[in-house]
Amino acid sequence: MQAIQFKSRGVAEIAEIPVADVPPGHALVRVRASGLCHTDIEILNGRYGADSFPVVPGHEFAGTVEAVAGDVSGLRTGARVVVDPNISCGACRSCRRGLANLCERLEAYGVTRAGGFAETCVVAVDHLHEIGDLAFDTAALAEPLACVLNGLDAAGFDTPGNRRPDTALVIGAGPIGLLLALSLKAGGVPGVAVADRNEHRLAFAQTLGLEPLAADSSSLAARRRTFDFVADATGVASVAADMPRYAADGGTVLFFGVCAPDARIEVSPFEIFRRQLRLCGAHSLNGQIGRAVALLRAEAETMGRLVTHRLPLAEMRPFFEKGGAGGDTMKVQFAA
């Protein structure tokens, strides 16, 4: 079968690889939609995760069950499914505390094991969630949306006793930033704004019912200390460093974008103390795929619009080589 394969650091090729055997407890999934994530670019360039070359990337994917192992029950061939890519050990301290996304031996389909940029993928059945009649391209947004839900959980968004924000700012109007902003809106936050430098993305955000704010504009500067919740979805350290200035007193600041591991920023402990700011981070997802599928079903008309490119496998390779999609695109997917 055909697959995109990361042969070594910086080398992505269309390869012919054998269809894998289906071991006990697993299913063979015919991939129907697989999304490109900036993390894939980081993996290719050796800046994220373990060095597992060669590997088939793709951790945002959905498809149909083509075959199941003999010991599998409760999952039929033909089932329409989406994949939870994270594979935790279940035994380390983080796993025992319910933080499987912080597992000391964390693996993932598309990162350390073959993923969804292939015609088929072998997946453990307990990592499959049925999607019913939800469109495959929309269902493939479940993984990034689950990361968003994990971020909101980490920020205490639905924690008893926490007041729901009245205003929120998401910095970065790419696909993950817009999923975050739309989730806040769907969760009942009345005023959700997004900031970005790209005019195309801001215009698109406005069509989704979000307030667009141009980065470095006087309009954004005038909103300092007015947002109950501020999140960075750019992964740019200097942008992340500016978040507290936009947070209202008593507000929450979420470090959600993936900054370079060696990046450093300055913060004022006194300001955090005096203004009672909450700073938190969130990594990956932690069992939220089912919630993500339910939210996608409810918000399919809006969130489904984030998928702007549905391409054959061979046409995906240039997006890896040029470092991802351009500013006038949103989510790019392999579609079969």
Can you tell me the mean pLDDT for 220-226?
97
Other CB atoms within a 10 A radius of the CB of residue 144 amount to: 22
pLDDT band at 144 (very low <50, low <70, confident <90, very high): very high
Sequence-ordered list of residues with C-beta below 8 angstroms from that of 325, at least 6 positions apart, any chain: 36, 309, 319, 331, 332
Can you tell me the mean pLDDT for 3-12?
94
pLDDT of residue 324: 60
Distances (CA, A) of 288 to 142, 148, 236: 9, 9, 26
Flag whether pLDDT at 300 surpasses 90. Answer: yes
- Return the closest-CA partner of residue 119 out of 29, 14, 43, 13: 29
pLDDT of residue 106: 96
Distances (CA, A) of 175 to 93, 118, 231: 33, 22, 14
Angle at 103 (CA atoms; ends 8, 32), nearest 5 degrees:
55
pLDDT of residue 158: 75
pLDDT of residue 174: 95
Arithmetic mean of pLDDT over the chain: 95
pLDDT of residue 202: 97
pTM comes to 0.96
Alpha-carbon span 133 to 113, nearest angstrom: 28
Query: What percentage of the chain reaches a pLDDT higher than 70?
Result: 97
Can you tell me the mean pLDDT for 68-84?
97
| pLDDT tens per residue, range 152-210 | 999 998 777 677 899 999 999 999 999 999 999 999 999 999 999 999 999 999 999 99
Architecture of domain 2-144+285-335 in this structure: Alpha-Beta Complex (3.90)
What is the amino acid identity at position 211? E
| pLDDT tens per residue, range 22-63 | 999 999 999 999 999 999 998 998 877 767 899 999 999 999
In the CATH hierarchy, which top-level class contains the domain 156-281? alpha beta
pLDDT of residue 323: 60
pLDDT of residue 321: 73
- What are the residue ranges of helices labelled H in the chain? 38-44, 93-96, 136-139, 142-154, 175-186, 199-207, 218-221, 237-241, 243-246, 269-274, 289-298, 300-303, 313-321
Give ranges for CATH 3.40.50.720 in the chain. Answer: 156-281
pLDDT of residue 8: 93
SS (H, E, C) 179-230: HHHHHHHHCCCCEEEEEECCHHHHHHHHHCCCEEEECCCHHHHCCCCCEEEE
- Return the closest-CA partner of residue 35 out of 307, 256, 312: 307
pLDDT band at 325 (very low <50, low <70, confident <90, very high): low
Q: Which helix (H) or strand (E) holds 47?
A: none
Flag whether pLDDT at 272 surpasses 80. Answer: yes
Can you tell me the mean pLDDT for 74-101?
98
Flag whether pLDDT at 123 surpasses 70. Answer: yes
Flag whether pLDDT at 326 surpasses 70. Answer: no
pLDDT of residue 79: 98
Give ranges for CATH 3.90.180.10 in the chain. Answer: 2-144+285-335
